[in-house]
Structure 1
């Protein structure tokens, strides 16, 4: 295994465990997959809509295998989970980092800032844009949670971590569909967490603020500049968010159930 350990890696923390990561082709998902492999996971399934991206990350990991997956497709999610069980007999850890934003809405917000006027997004938001964000972010989370619970409940153990967003709390102006989708993700995850803890399955959420991912790279510069507040920490790295996600997935977080950990560098508290 040729994975370099970062300063926060704890060798053996996930020794022998079978893990699956969605959105693993880049950003936070890729960072989680790398760290799982570095910490002893015997198998890491890297799922991403961008199959080539997932394959590139998997090649770094001695325990990695890539699959192309659209989390909005329920049958495809179920099929991947079934394949994991057939190949490995169990699924111990699931980190769900797949999600989408809306570059067009971001550009409208940016244009309004440059022109010194309030954003006008909601009345121009068409059904397709709304449904795309909801289908991937909210429906996709349901599909992944359901498949993971089906895999974990028979063995009475497992840890699921969902990547939400601080946008669920501060509800950015001009970004109603994204904020609503992530608020739904948080509520869905917490409701499932209360149900499945009786079966030994823990579900928790990390809610990042601005993080240096491909999604952030597509954010217009005027919006990125708005996040550059010297009074708070700068953009998080994917590895910093991965550290939090894997703490939640680890035995050290045994008493955390239905938690939503806000990881926004001090931009606001809830």
Structure 2
């Protein structure tokens, strides 16, 4: 039987969750789909006063923002530093603050995944790196690593000036297990982790926190493009499953929120037990 104290603690926890980001001004990149979409909508549901749903696909951003009173969709290519600066400066300028940034924008390489699937199905050795083009490599780095730099740099300029704020970069468990089909993706995401950890040590002096969420396989549009044979041979527990975008969004908000006040430069590996690091 629950005691009065138990009920009070439970109710306090629920109420805290509902208004954990009350009045906050937030930016979420990659908010047109997947983890970014889920995180942006969750921020609004937990009290954020203004949430920019930013995505390179303006229509997807607008669709994700539908029905959310606090939502403001914006077209944004994170590989374009000037565009990132414009969006962040406009947001901070209009509201006088920027409290939370969740950077979920990113790309993978479906063609490389398909090449691995074909090799597995055909029973022949997989070959990628010798034919990996400069264009594909540079696009992967430009969006996944340089894009993270652009967003992080723009955000901390404003946060450090106000001595308040939290940034969560979405990395990947691929930076640890380095999947054979994605050396360029793994390299870019490993760079994101190192970037975040170095910057975290710098900006905590200004009461700004930077952390990384490193998801494992998650049921997003990106994951749905993965050939079925690659899902079947994924390493780890047979009880492992693909996470949902909502589950990853909840972890991103934990890192961004006050409950994680002592987490600085952390990399939260969330891969359902496929491996530990």
State the TM bucket, normalised to the shorter chain: over 0.9
Do the aligned partners of 1:228 and 1:234 also contact (CA within 8 Å) in 2?
Answer: no
Task: Tell me how far apart the structure 2 counterparts of residues 77 and 14 of structure 1 sit (CA, whole Å).
Answer: 23
1:229 CA displacement: 6.0
Is 1:26 the counterpart of 2:33? The answer is yes
1:250 CA displacement: 0.5
1:32 CA displacement: 0.2
Partner of 2:192: 185
Is 1:237 the counterpart of 2:207? The answer is no
Partner of 1:4: none
1:227 CA displacement: 3.0
Partner of 2:9: none
**Aligned counterpart in structure 2 of residue 156 of structure 1, from 163, 174, 181:** 163
Which runs of structure 2 are paired with 1:19-168 in the superposition (5 Å)? 19-168=26-175
Do the aligned partners of 1:232 and 1:267 also contact (CA within 8 Å) in 2?
Answer: no
Task: Return the index of the structure with the highest Cα Rg.
Answer: 2
Task: Tell me how far apart the structure 2 counterparts of residues 32 and 9 of structure 1 sit (CA, whole Å).
Answer: 17
Task: Tell me how far apart the structure 1 counterparts of residues 258 and 142 of structure 2 sit (CA, whole Å).
Answer: 32
Task: Tell me how far apart the structure 1 counterparts of residues 148 and 112 of structure 2 sit (CA, whole Å).
Answer: 22
Do the aligned partners of 1:9 and 1:38 also contact (CA within 8 Å) in 2?
Answer: no
Task: Tell me how far apart the structure 2 counterparts of residues 66 and 225 of structure 1 sit (CA, whole Å).
Answer: 37
**Aligned counterpart in structure 2 of residue 202 of structure 1, from 209, 219, 231:** 209
Runs (5+) with no aligned partner, structure 1: 1-6
Task: Tell me how far apart the structure 1 counterparts of residues 120 and 78 of structure 2 sit (CA, whole Å).
Answer: 33
Do the aligned partners of 2:200 and 2:264 also contact (CA within 8 Å) in 1?
Answer: yes
Partner secondary structure for residue 109 of structure 1: helix
Partner of 2:276: 269
1:174 CA displacement: 2.6
Partner secondary structure for residue 70 of structure 1: coil
Partner of 1:14: 21
When the two structures are superposed, what TM-score results if normalisation uses the length of structure 2? 0.93
Task: Tell me how far apart the structure 1 counterparts of residues 148 and 15 of structure 2 sit (CA, whole Å).
Answer: 28
Partner secondary structure for residue 176 of structure 2: helix
Task: Tell me how far apart the structure 1 counterparts of residues 80 and 166 of structure 2 sit (CA, whole Å).
Answer: 22
Which runs of structure 2 are paired with 1:212-251 in the superposition (5 Å)? 212-227=219-234, 231-251=238-258
**Aligned counterpart in structure 1 of residue 265 of structure 2, from 258, 261, 269:** 258
Do the aligned partners of 2:235 and 2:274 also contact (CA within 8 Å) in 1?
Answer: no
Runs (5+) with no aligned partner, structure 2: 1-13
Task: Tell me how far apart the structure 2 counterparts of residues 181 and 232 of structure 1 sit (CA, whole Å).
Answer: 29
Task: Tell me how far apart the structure 1 counterparts of residues 33 and 51 of structure 2 sit (CA, whole Å).
Answer: 15
1:220 CA displacement: 1.2
Partner secondary structure for residue 41 of structure 1: coil
Task: Tell me how far apart the structure 2 counterparts of residues 118 and 27 of structure 1 sit (CA, whole Å).
Answer: 32
Q: Deviations over 1:119-151 (max 9, x none)?
A: 100001000000010000000000000000011
- The RMSD of aligned alpha carbons is 1.5
